[in-house]
Chain A
């Protein structure tokens, strides 16, 4: 089974009375046990593509399956449940709730699934401990550095044990050393054969963490490389 399989994905957005096509016939498979990077210049459609692959946006054309489940005819409510149970998200700006502690933020997917806050926070604390955040669970986001906040976001993406982790520019707001540390964690996560990590980035300093790099340009997938081959290219 592929973590994600998509064929001939196209996406149109309305602009006034017209429609503009931002994705054109994108097809690929994302494998379990791999860290796949989706790279390309700003505005090439990376974010739109991962939004579709994670069930946040709906494709105008084409077929998408995530962890064996087809999204094409899935209702919105089912997509929400799929995201809640099987997909983890890491955002560029972390998007942590400032009023919640690190553990509470990380526990969000569990709470969304109905688990009580104390129990969910306890599970989240264990994940935080595992990614170098021992003793930081009770701190508020404003008391944490950017790198620590991103680790909280990683814990939030892992806490419900999803099969697919989608990361949007996870190192964009971090310095080089912190970015590498964060990528090291994601790399370790991707080594799990039951899990795939899909990273959208244009930070070429982290390409070497990838097992595979998909290149995009003008709404099209234009290349599929191993990291070494991509550098040569």
Chain B
């Protein structure tokens, strides 16, 4: 009876296309919006995950997310280094600063100060210049998006002069890094240069990055550091989720995206359910005739499920395809850079679409099952 199911479905082109459209639309809206939501939320923690070398981040206990800076005393670096199991611990500066460009305009940047010796925290994927150039106290590296934002027509290879709190800097390197939630350009200098160039204050050390000795878990090390120093020590993953959760709890982003995703699901479900319902209702007389000549409810169920399955697979495939195409086409756009359609999102969307389709056919099937085949005798 699968042949009959497919012929019935494909024989009514307009409704077939309507059903496919409904499922495609619902899939596209859900997968795309969830991906963008995930991408934005990931950005809130990209400043953490892009520091690949560190296993543990140490900070003031009051810090709730990565963009919150509560400076620690410089001596805390030594205290952390003295904890058993620490392979190395380096300072990491992160703060906002304002730079003056050659044309006199000012630009706010996210200033990152990395350990002078190890360069831990500096991006790795250089597209112009060398990482080591920032050891020159007057040199800096900038992220690609930041560079294009400040100098849209600039040449990566040409050094760009800047002024940071009356200190002259030359941007001599450009690197690829994941965009952060705050869209300011990311300017990398050494930790010492950052201390030199930022306004004086009693404490300036926001973070300490730690790598543990081989054979111990990052969680154990973080706990040991917390216990011994009284500071907040979190593994990269813990700090990542702490930052993401902060934004989830303190901003309207999840609610707004949640509403959009839900609306997409509802509209898609409504279109799919209504079209499928109409499709079944308009075929009721045919179903009745089939029941009269001996087609069982089980066979009719298989017919409807086959039709729904085909519509679901094609609609879902197209929706996921369009979503992937969207992210492929926009992959170079700074606003969407790093946004991806993850396998988990595809799987979740597949489940949601399956639920929508099953809910849609539930109503229709009830009508088919209760259908009295005697209606075929009623003219």
State the A residues within 8 Å of B (CB).
Answer: 47, 50-51, 54, 56-57, 77, 80-81, 83-85, 88-89, 91-93, 95-100, 104, 108-109, 111-113, 117, 156, 168-169, 172
Residues of A contacting B290 with CB < 8 Å? Answer: 97, 108, 112
- Inter-chain contact count A-B, CB under 8 Å? 94
- Are B4 and A95 within 8 A (Cβ)? no
Question: Could you list 17 A-B pairs, sorted by A, with CB under 8 Å?
Answer: A47-B378, A51-B374, A51-B377, A54-B292, A56-B372, A56-B377, A57-B374, A80-B291, A80-B296, A83-B293, A84-B294, A91-B289, A91-B376, A95-B286, A98-B286, A109-B293, A156-B293
Residues of B contacting A83 with CB < 8 Å? Answer: 292-294
Whether B12 is near chain A, meaning CB under 8 Å from some CB there, is yes
B1: nearest residue on chain A (CB-CB)? A111
Cβ < 8 Å to A, chain B residues 282-298: 285-286, 288-296
Docked pose: A92 CA to B292 CA in angstroms: 14
Residues of A contacting B288 with CB < 8 Å? Answer: 95
Shortest beta-carbon distance, A50 to chain B, in Å? Answer: 7
Residues of A contacting B295 with CB < 8 Å? Answer: 80, 84, 108, 112
- Are A93 and B379 within 8 A (Cβ)? yes
- Are B10 and A99 within 8 A (Cβ)? yes
B292: nearest residue on chain A (CB-CB)? A89
Given A77, A98, A112, which contacts B293 in the complex, CB threshold below 8 Å? A112
Q: If the complex has contacts A91-B376, A93-B379, A112-B1, are A99 and B7 also in contact, measured as CB distance less than 8 A?
A: yes
Docked pose: A77 CA to B298 CA in angstroms: 11
Q: If the complex has contacts A83-B292, A83-B293, are A112 and B299 also in contact, measured as CB distance less than 8 A?
A: yes
Residues of A contacting B292 with CB < 8 Å? Answer: 54, 56, 83, 89, 91, 95
Cβ < 8 Å to A, chain B residues 139-174: none
Q: If the complex has contacts A47-B378, A50-B377, A112-B299, are A104 and B293 also in contact, measured as CB distance less than 8 A?
A: no
Shortest beta-carbon distance, A31 to chain B, in Å? Answer: 23
State the B residues within 8 Å of A (CB).
Answer: 1, 3-4, 7-12, 285-286, 288-296, 299, 372-374, 376-379
Residues of A contacting B285 with CB < 8 Å? Answer: 93, 95
- Are A47 and B377 within 8 A (Cβ)? yes
- Are B4 and A117 within 8 A (Cβ)? yes
- Are B294 and A109 within 8 A (Cβ)? yes
Residues of A contacting B9 with CB < 8 Å? Answer: 99
Docked pose: A99 CA to B294 CA in angstroms: 19
- Are A100 and B294 within 8 A (Cβ)? no
Q: If the complex has contacts A93-B379, A97-B286, are A56 and B1 also in contact, measured as CB distance less than 8 A?
A: no
Docked pose: A190 CA to B285 CA in angstroms: 28
Residues of B contacting A89 with CB < 8 Å? Answer: 289, 292-293, 376
- Are A112 and B12 within 8 A (Cβ)? no
Docked pose: A188 CA to B377 CA in angstroms: 24
- Are A104 and B294 within 8 A (Cβ)? no
Please provide the 9 A-B residue pairs with the shortest distance between their CB atoms, ordered closest to farther. Answer: A99-B11, A84-B294, A95-B289, A117-B3, A51-B374, A112-B295, A47-B377, A99-B7, A83-B294
Docked pose: A112 CA to B4 CA in angstroms: 10
Q: If the complex has contacts A77-B296, A93-B379, A112-B294, are A100 and B374 also in contact, measured as CB distance less than 8 A?
A: no
